[in-house]
Amino acid sequence: MGIEIEQPCVELSNVAVSETHGENSPYFAGWKAYDENPYDEFTNPSGVIQMGLAENQVSFDLIEKYLEEHPEEASTWGNGASGFRENALFQDYHGLKTFRTAMASFMEQVRGGRAKFDPQRIVLTAGATAANELLTFILANPGDALLVPTPYYPGFDRDLRWRTGVNIVPINCDSSNNFQITPEALEASYKDAEAMNFKVRGVLITNPSNPLGITIPREVLEEILDFVTRKNIHLVSDEIYSGSVFSSSEFTSVAEILEARENRNAERVHIVYSLSKDLGLPGFRVGTIYSYNDKVVTTARRMSSFTLISSQTQHLLASMLSDERFTESYMETNRERLRKRYQMIIEGLRSAGIECLNGNAGLFCWMNMSPLLEKPTREGELELWNTILLQVKLNISPGSSCHCSEPGWFRVCFANMSEHTLEIALQRIRDFMARIRTETETESA
Amino acid sequence: MGFGGNSQQLLSKIATNDKHGENSPYFDGWKAYDRNPFHPKNNPQGVIQMGLAENQLCFDLIEEWIRNNPKASICTPEGVHQFRNIANFQDYHGLQKFRNAMANFMSKVRGGRVRFDPDRILMSGGATGANELIMFCLADPGDAFMIPTPFYPGFVRDLCWRTGVKLIPVHSDSSNNFKITREALEEAYKKAKEDNINVKGLLITNPSNPLGTTLDKDTLKSLVSFINEKNIHLVCDEIYAATVFSSPNYVSVAEVIQEVEHCKRDLIHIIYSLSKDMGFPGFRVGIVYSFNDEVVNCGRKMSSFGLVCSQTQHMLASMLSDENFVTTFIEENSRRLKKRHDKFMKGLEEVNITRFPSNAGLFCWMNLKSLLKEPTFEDELKLWRVIIHEVKLNVSPGSSFNCSEPGWFRVCFANMDDETVDVALNRIRAFVGRETKKPVGIKRWQQNLRLNFSSRIFDETTVIMSPHSPIPTSPLVRAT
């Protein structure tokens, strides 16, 4: 009788079995806790409040109103039978011209007209997730590295590294100077990469920053541009939150700096944008890459075949975004509402004894809870996070999930809920902090 | 102005190689169409586009449904109350009702002979995105997938470009009706092993593009046995499943695995899309359906790079769960395709052009070997250029599909109206008529290899367009 050799299971790819998608991290316990016990104002008022999702839900009514007032534009296929047919068949990776033009003009508006965007340089992708991955495929080979300032959006670990095989080397920033990116930090990061034998291909910044909620000052942007020029590498500026700056004049886009420099050395710069945050439409999958480099535009366009924007959506948004009266009014109202929310949460936290980084943009605040840590370590931070999750029933994002080098910071989202829910959340925090103070006083008595 | 040094070096290898496929000679056809597109009134002498596998026959049915179901849109007064929920929805699981509706539709297309589990349905950016995604899940750079010829040219980009996967063609030819034989598979597999290439799987398209035929059950079973034996994956691109218009009936791999003993289901994956069956490639609805749990888990995470727009998911959730509509659509689509196919075939028969008998697809596989002076690919390309520039039809030469024998051409017929079909057939009749009136051996078109037109000069060696000006209507631009 022979020995039966069991056929081994057919292997999947290395990409498939790797953990680089990032979902097996401890932070997913937060999502689980929320899923199992989600807060609802009426049906589950003691459930977990989701404060880990950077969504913009404060301005939907403005868009709904636009749709109600513009039924022809709202009809996603224009007039006549041929409208549907043409739209349904349209899969040209150049994208609808009207849509690209509308995006370019919208991006100009978001920057207060301080920079011009050429619709021919706009490449469309299904979301910024796809845009960032696609750019990485174009700018770097497997094994190369991109330098990214910390703390950064946790999704970058997947978007920039997973299928591309590219590495992220952190540019360390800390609270000593409000987490600004310094020339020393840039140089140090570059050297770190070299020490690991990674070829550095570029720097990727998020401006305004997620999770910090601040815009990068003009001088710092100039320094970063000088740095990448010296090193002869690329600069990717993810400006996905550019329309969420509370006061438009406080945002400087890298596009403005390039214009001031008469587009010298612009070929190394690429901007990523999306409508997921500013317009609150993450479901529609609208991302763009704006590159000053012809070859990148051409290649990115070809690659966008894997991730085109639905023609239905392009048509709808082409109308909406080229209505300048609507977009002006939307931007102004959206900024103001976000600013108000930000004020509300900052004051609420302050009254509970918690300080935040002085922010001016985004859908979240960067909260400093380091005084509360048992130990000033990542473990200490995770312990505190766990307590907040299970006792205070708030799902917030610990700084370590954003690769922050200093423990104790947390990102707290405020725009994905009603004002009422935010009040409840703040009350829970106040109560929690009061309990801690009482406990501390009791202990020291 | 520019980088100090060669700007090309500062982009990745993927960015600077040719695997995007657009630097191929076949773009001449698209160029000709772009410069001079046919229009029944405005440009009746223009080039007719017969290289695009689009289904334009059933839009009226869909438009009617949309008009009658305003709630399915989130932009109408009836549907706008759903706007914020849908606009905000980016969960990579996809809307449950969308997956349910897709599973239902896919089952109906297969005559209800098999049920699909909505939890195994993954979204992606069209079938283009789906094919790339499954490669990322199953193969490492340098690994290979076997693929029967002739095959869809876009596969080179979709399966290989960013994934680094190699393709190993498994040749078939007309001597046995382009059948995929066990011998051919074994031979290709053996050679790969000898060359130290790691074969991870076999990818088939069923119904076939460009042949327009469905695989019979026995062949499918033998393919399933083959991959089981070799312990490699089987990816079945079933994108043309609902374009079957006559017998034999369609058999999906999903049906066959129910019948193959000891079939390792973990090896089976289906690619689907609504671009051909329903005719809306613009909506980017690609699906990966895997019987392998790990692939489902991993593929789902990857779908973040190409999710189906929530607005589209919402609309399709309604449309595809409307039983009446689905049943009517599938039947009518099939009937209209058959009618169009029959009309076109009759026209070809009248001028003795033979073609590969087909029962599915949006095109026919035309045999023009008799018009070749020599049975070579050079002559095929020469004939092709004449068809474009003289007959003014953009058709696709078999060599662009990696066909191993010269003389075959794929001609699409479902992307135009009846009148245009007539014009195309008239032109073909006239051309063949001219050819057959000549003395044997000397074809008129061969005396005029350098074709001069009043305002355009076409050089046979005209290259390929510049990478900076891709043809808007080319197949790769349209991901067709």
Which of B8, B13, B14 is the best mutation test for A, with the most CBs of A within 10 A? B14
Q: What is the mean pLDDT of residues A223-228?
A: 98
Which residues in chain A have their CB less than 8 angstroms from residue B88's CB?
55, 57, 60, 280-283
Domain span(s) for CATH 3.90.1150.10 in chain B: 7-54+334-478
Structure-block tokens of residue B16: 């600077």
**Residue A353: per-residue pLDDT:** 95
CB distance A280–B479 less than 8 Å?
no
The partner residue sitting opposite A67, judged by closest CB among B75, B140, B312, is B75
- Active-site annotation holder among A190, A238, A292, A424: A238
**Residue B30: per-residue pLDDT:** 81
Domain span(s) for CATH 3.40.640.10 in chain B: 89-321
**Residue B434: per-residue pLDDT:** 80
CB distance A12–B14 less than 8 Å?
no
Classify domain B89-321 at the CATH class level: alpha beta
The alpha carbon of residue B428 is apart from the nearest alpha carbon of chain A, in Å, by: 27
pLDDT tens figures, A36-78:
999 999 999 999 999 999 999 999 999 999 999 987 766 656 5
**Residue B456: per-residue pLDDT:** 33
**Residue B21: per-residue pLDDT:** 81
Which residues in chain A have their CB less than 8 angstroms from residue B295's CB?
12, 16
Positions of B annotated as catalytic residues are 152, 237, 239, 276
CB distance A283–B310 less than 8 Å?
yes
Chain B, nearest residue to A277 by Cα: B88
**Residue A146: per-residue pLDDT:** 98
Which residues in chain A have their CB less than 8 angstroms from residue B300's CB?
none
Residue A6: is its pLDDT beyond 90? no
CB distance A311–B473 less than 8 Å?
no
Chain A, nearest residue to B234 by Cα: A10
**Residue B384: per-residue pLDDT:** 95
Give residue for tokens 């218009």: B245
The pLDDT confidence band at residue A32, using thresholds 50, 70 and 90, is confident
Instruction: Annotate chain A with three-state secondary structure.
Output: CCCCCCCCCCCCCHHHHCCCCCCCCCCHHHHHHHHHCECECCCECCCEEECCCCCCCCCHHHHHHHHHHCHHHHCCCCCCHHHHHHHHHCCCCCCCHHHHHHHHHHHHHHCCCCCCCCHHHEEEECCHHHHHHHHHHHHCCCCCEEEEECCCCCCHHHHHHCCCCCEEEEECCCHHHCCCCCHHHHHHHHHHHHHCCCCEEEEEEECCCCCCCCCCCHHHHHHHHHHHHHHCCEEEEECCCHHHECCHHHCCCHHHHHHHCCCCCHHHEEEEEECCCCCCCHHHCCEEEEECCHHHHHHHHHHHHHHCCCHHHHHHHHHHHCCHHHHHHHHHHHHHHHHHHHHHHHHHHHHCCCEECCCCECCEEEEECHHHCCCCCHHHHHHHHHHHHHHHCEECEEHHHHCCCCCCEEEEECCCCCHHHHHHHHHHHHHHHHHHHHHHHHHHC
Chain B, nearest residue to A159 by Cα: B305
**Residue B453: per-residue pLDDT:** 32
pLDDT tens figures, A170-211:
999 999 999 999 999 999 999 999 999 999 999 999 999 999
What pTM value is reported for the model? Answer: 0.92
Which residues in chain A have their CB less than 8 angstroms from residue B417's CB?
none
CB distance B284–A310 less than 8 Å?
yes
Which residues in chain A have their CB less than 8 angstroms from residue B53's CB?
none
Chain B, nearest residue to A145 by Cα: B12
Share of chain A above pLDDT 70, in %: 95
The alpha carbon of residue A165 is apart from the nearest alpha carbon of chain B, in Å, by: 11
Mean pLDDT of chain A: 93
pLDDT, one tens digit for every residue, chain B (480 residues): 344 444 545 889 899 888 888 877 777 788 889 899 999 999 999 999 999 999 999 999 999 999 999 999 999 999 999 999 999 999 999 999 999 999 999 999 999 999 999 999 999 999 999 999 999 999 999 999 999 999 999 999 999 999 999 999 999 999 999 999 999 999 999 999 999 999 999 999 999 999 999 999 999 999 999 999 999 999 999 999 999 999 999 999 999 998 888 899 999 999 999 999 999 999 999 999 999 999 999 999 999 999 999 999 999 999 999 999 999 999 999 999 999 999 999 999 999 999 999 999 999 999 999 999 999 999 999 999 999 999 999 999 999 999 999 999 999 999 999 999 999 999 999 998 887 675 544 444 544 433 333 223 333 333 333 332 334 444 444 444
The partner residue sitting opposite B306, judged by closest CB among A14, A88, A307, is A307
- Active-site annotation holder among A49, A171, A277, A342: A277
Q: How many CA atoms are closer than 13 Å to the CA of B141, on its beta-carbon side?
A: 10
CB distance B15–A138 less than 8 Å?
yes
Q: If you count residue pairs, one on A and one on B, with CB atoms under 8 Å apart, how many are there?
A: 267
Classify domain B7-54+334-478 at the CATH class level: alpha beta
Question: Contact B280/B316 with Cβ under 8 angstroms?
Answer: no
